[in-house]
Amino acid sequence: MVTGYPVGVAQRIRYTVNDANGNGVLDAGEAVLGGGLERLGGSTPTLTLALHSELRVGRRISLTGVVDRRSGAWTSSGYAGRSCVVPEYSCRQYQDQSTSVAEQAAAWRDTWSYSATDAPAFDASFTRLRELSLRWTLGPRSTGAAGGGAMQIVLSGRNLATWTKWPGPDPEINSLGRGALTRNDATAVPLPRRVMLGVEIGY
């Protein structure tokens, strides 16, 4: 808790970087920690939106969808922190030669400061295709087997796509529980992608 900032504010160590030899690879001594803490934002989104829309094709086919947008929340990522520490060094910043020096420096900073209780924090903003459903209402001849009741064939999906810069597996999960002031994805399981096919019968 820091005066003037949201409850559960995320923060990280400041650093400076100088690629002295200009080789595009962060060498020893070219990143220096110091200058205090960089305070980011809280763990609660400042913007939450949902768009629900339906498209009808004729009298029997309809397509509905729900898109969610959440932004303004900062979450610690134990997943990202652990993937960069020894002995794995398996995070993209250490393996991808196209990674910028600034990204390499940030990974080095997060690795140096990482602990079980102080994982690096990242912007957890995301846009997610939450639901998509295609419904086909059968005609009277087809519903005879259902006793004359309305019958629909439904193909639906949930959590089908996510657009985010979050480095971990899922920006929405939290392993610390609902009552925690801060968030961390260290041991939480990503939300599953589900596709279902069913029949709805009404009388």
129 pLDDT more than 90: yes
| Identity at 99, one-letter amino acid code | T
Residue 5 counted as domain residue: no
133 pLDDT more than 80: yes
Residue 4 counted as domain residue: no
Mean pLDDT of the chain: 83
What would the pLDDT profile of 69-111 be if each residue is shown by its tens digit?
A: 999 999 888 887 777 776 566 777 777 778 888 787 777 777 7
Q: Say how many residues make up the chain.
A: 203
178 pLDDT more than 90: no
Domain assignment of residue 63, given as a range: 11-202
- Residues 26-34, mean pLDDT to the nearest whole number: 77
Residue 1 counted as domain residue: no
154 pLDDT more than 90: yes
The answer to whether the CB of 8 falls within 8 A of the CB of 174 is: no
> What's the pLDDT band for 116 if we cut at 50, 70, 90?
very low
Most confident of 9-13, 57-61, 62-66, 117-121: 62-66
Of residues 84 and 196, which shows the higher confidence score?
Answer: 196
| Identity at 149, one-letter amino acid code | G
Residue 6 counted as domain residue: no
Residue 2 counted as domain residue: no
The total of structural domains in the chain comes to 1
194 pLDDT more than 80: yes
